[in-house]
Amino acid sequence: MIDVRKHRGESVIVNGFSLELDEGEFVALLGRSGSGKTTILRLIAGLDTLDEGEIWLDGKLASKDGRNIIPPRLRQIGFVFQDLALWPHMTIAESLAFVLSSTNIRGKDRERRIAEVLAAARIPDLGTRYPHQLSGGEQQRAALARALAPRPRLLLLDEPMSSLDAELKSELALELGAVHRTFRLTTIYVTHDVSEISGLACRAITL
């Protein structure tokens, strides 16, 4: 990201933000509510459009001065939203299959990929469950599995542990570390709680 700016009406949400990540790096964005953390993730993913500046992904210009040049579906980004955004009418396995339907992964390969990411998220036996049948921690893992399913190049995590108690936060932090090491994913983790990223992030940026 190079000198990115985003306004909503008269409000400046992101004001001249720049960020460069190395491949495989785990970076945390820290800041209070309203500091623009989530907006930065949405701009990177192409879900919002910047007003000024540039976003480059893997050496390709993705967004520039009010235009999304690469659409969200082609950015190879996995996104875990703060509210998880799990589809209530689908089982977890069905939601993973739906995500993979836009890729060239078919048949037995798709089944193997679903099993792989469910195992990586530590919910290997919960694919037949619906979101309302899962605990809060299990829902977080299901959202992570969905983000990992298409093998993204970049993983965006928007306050993924905000609704969890301290014990579950510690457990999920260990699992996120294991996922990062296994998949070697470049990762941006947004939070207002610095304790969540202790031992996870290569570096932290405060907004």
CB 39 within 8 A of CB 5: no
Delimit the domains of the chain by residue range. 89-149
Please report how many Cα atoms fall inside a 13 Å half-sphere around the Cα of residue 174, on the Cβ side: 6
What confidence score (pLDDT) does residue 75 get?
Answer: 96
CB of 200 closer than 8 Å to CB of 176? yes
Instruction: Output the CA torsion sign for 156, 158, 163, 167.
Output: positive
pLDDT tens, residue by residue, 44-70: 999 999 999 999 999 999 999 999 999
Say if CB 29 and CB 190 are below 8 A apart: yes
What is the SS3 assignment for 4?
A: strand
What would the pLDDT profile of 162-178 be if each residue is shown by its tens digit?
778 788 888 888 888 88
Q: What is the DSSP letter of 196?
A: G
63-121 tens-digit pLDDT:
999 999 999 999 999 999 988 999 999 999 999 999 999 888 889 999 999 999 999 99
- Number of helices (H) and strands (E), helices first, in the chain? 5, 10
The C-alpha angle with vertex 14 and arms to 9 and 20, in degrees rounded to 5, equals 150
Asked whether 50 and 63 are in contact (CB, 8 A), the reply is: yes
Phi, psi of 55 (to 5 degrees): -125, 125
Neighbours of 149 (CB within 10 A): 25
Q: How open is the CA angle 182-31-87, to the nearest 5 degrees?
A: 55
**CA Rg value for the chain:** 17
Give pLDDT, residue 129. Answer: 98
- Residue 84, phi-psi category: left (phi > 0), alpha (psi -120 to 50), beta (remainder): left
